[in-house]
Structure 1
């Protein structure tokens, strides 16, 4: 990172939802409610998976890791956004901005590859059930989780090194957190190369895992269609429905946010898209996996029954 003299500014000022000034209190209440629901939902999922031995299988190990990652992901962004909606101070230091961006990138990419690992788990479970326990052993599961996190860390280091080498002449970030594009717009240098690097990396970390997931599901669906029993096909589809729902929405939002042309949307549109993947998408995880997943619902009932009997 360049020195403060070279950078020209020492802190950034968020212009979060400046076009919705009259509705900031309403937005605060709405976002706080969704944030609390996300935290509560993900904590419940992680707790239920850890205490219920019926859920001690790879599929739910990955789900607990995803819920944990989503929880930290929202902690990095949402509290500051809520504070900016009701407080007077909306500034962040360069070091604070770099730190926020680092964790945001790491966790966002980690989530993408965790969903890929979950897709691979479903592929092995349905297409190679007799060898499932051998293939998806504890060591492999841990390696997949560490691999997802390591890719996120590596990409974050590259992105942070690229962005914060730039000299910044403007301090007003047209966003509510330190995302890559809004911060690069503050530079007084030519960012064409950095934009190209950002687009290339974004394409890799979105398109590659998304492609792997959909290849897995093509193979899964072809296997399911070969099952003779209608009940068997229904059960197989049911085990994948929750994951596929989250995958489509997660990668869909990420693609719209980072693979669209740079000047396609206005600032307000960009912020609304960002709200989708920082507030609404993390809430999908607990909602989808509790409302659509019979095993998780059964585990919740068992836990509540034990508590009522205690």
Structure 2
């Protein structure tokens, strides 16, 4: 293994890792490289387009679309953090990454994942106010919208340090090969020759509330939303309300569905390939389909917002 070892604090630090990605795809590596390069470009263009349109279009300068632009920016960070290395491993069979680069990638991946969880929760609160308390919607969101969009970023980029800092202090022995297409907690734990049990407990204690509370909050808000919708007398009002919520529900279902599946599938044996595939859905396809989901519902949502 090409891994320069530096000593310090009685432990070793590998200078680089090798990401195997999807390995040899029986001669189809170039084809998959082209496919995922196109996906990457469409993801960048789609999310940038949402951010620009929200910024320059007066009709879209509402709290809902302001929060959507934050969701798009989070998707941009996920894609640009993960896909370039994955494309490199597809083209060359493997991708080398420095120790610092690997820890940095893990930091930004965990930070944007937490941020997106919280942004989706804030978006559900926005829909709750719009449907269940429309008379106070403008007064509340105009005052708190910026704060509500800032807190997910602040919490996402600070709370994840509870996992990143211990991982950065792991002891790594001789093996520096990561059988994945990006640096994540489980692959790094497998390579470490340290006792990672306390880190696992610490990560579990912090990560579960981070993911469960936003998910629970979204479920509670939609119980109230559906109750309000079914109480409406107007069929047209019900259709507009469902239309403005459906895009958010699809985004929530896609994000949490792939995230839950990713961490429920073991990262070893025959399950490793399945884990890679689910991780691919979470890191590559979710950022791609979010702009598609919301662009298909834009006109319906604007109709609901009009008096």
- TM-score under structure 1 length normalisation: 0.90
Which of 4, 7, 15 is equivalent to 2:6?
Answer: 4
Distance verdict in 2 for CA 1:61–1:227, change over 3 Å: same
1:178-211 residue CA offsets vs partner (Å, 9 max, x unmatched): 1111111100122222222233333222221111
Distance (Å, rounded) in 1 between the aligned partners of 2:262 and 2:113: 12
- SS of alignment partner, residue 4 of structure 1: strand
Q: Which moved more, 1:249-258 or 1:14-23?
A: 14-23
Cα RMSD for the two superposed structures: 2.0
Residue 213 (structure 1) aligned with residue 215 (structure 2) = no
Q: Is the contact between residue 266 and residue 272 of structure 2 (CA under 8 Å) also seen in structure 1?
A: no
Counterpart of 2:154 in structure 1 is 150
Counterpart of 1:140 in structure 2 is 144
Q: Which moved more, 1:288-297 or 1:64-73?
A: 288-297
Counterpart of 1:308 in structure 2 is none
Unpaired segments of 5 or more residues in structure 2?
Answer: none
Residue 183 (structure 1) aligned with residue 213 (structure 2) = no
Q: Is the contact between residue 206 and residue 255 of structure 1 (CA under 8 Å) also seen in structure 2?
A: no
1:71-94 residue CA offsets vs partner (Å, 9 max, x unmatched): 122111111111221136611111
Distance (Å, rounded) in 2 between the aligned partners of 1:98 and 1:263: 21
1:49-90 residue CA offsets vs partner (Å, 9 max, x unmatched): 111101111000000111112112211111111122113661
- Distance apart, 1:160 and its partner CA: 1.0
Distance verdict in 2 for CA 1:12–1:275, change over 3 Å: same
1:206-285 pair list within 5 angstroms: 206-260=211-265, 266-285=271-290
Q: Is the contact between residue 78 and residue 279 of structure 1 (CA under 8 Å) also seen in structure 2?
A: yes
> How many correspondences in the alignment?
295
Q: Is the contact between residue 10 and residue 94 of structure 1 (CA under 8 Å) also seen in structure 2?
A: yes
Distance verdict in 2 for CA 1:265–1:202, change over 3 Å: farther
Unpaired segments of 5 or more residues in structure 1?
Answer: 299-310
- TM-score under structure 2 length normalisation: 0.90
- Distance apart, 1:252 and its partner CA: 0.9
1:264-305 residue CA offsets vs partner (Å, 9 max, x unmatched): 96221111111101110001111101123325899xxxxxxx
Q: Is the contact between residue 202 and residue 259 of structure 1 (CA under 8 Å) also seen in structure 2?
A: no
Of structures 1 and 2, the one scoring higher in RCO (CA 8 A, sep 6+) is: 1
- Distance apart, 1:255 and its partner CA: 1.0
Distance (Å, rounded) in 2 between the aligned partners of 1:15 and 1:264: 15
- Distance apart, 1:143 and its partner CA: 1.0
Distance verdict in 2 for CA 1:89–1:225, change over 3 Å: closer
1:125-152 residue CA offsets vs partner (Å, 9 max, x unmatched): 1000000111111x41111121101111
Q: Is the contact between residue 79 and residue 283 of structure 2 (CA under 8 Å) also seen in structure 1?
A: yes
Distance (Å, rounded) in 1 between the aligned partners of 2:35 and 2:21: 15
- SS of alignment partner, residue 191 of structure 2: coil
Which of 54, 62, 70 is equivalent to 2:67?
Answer: 62
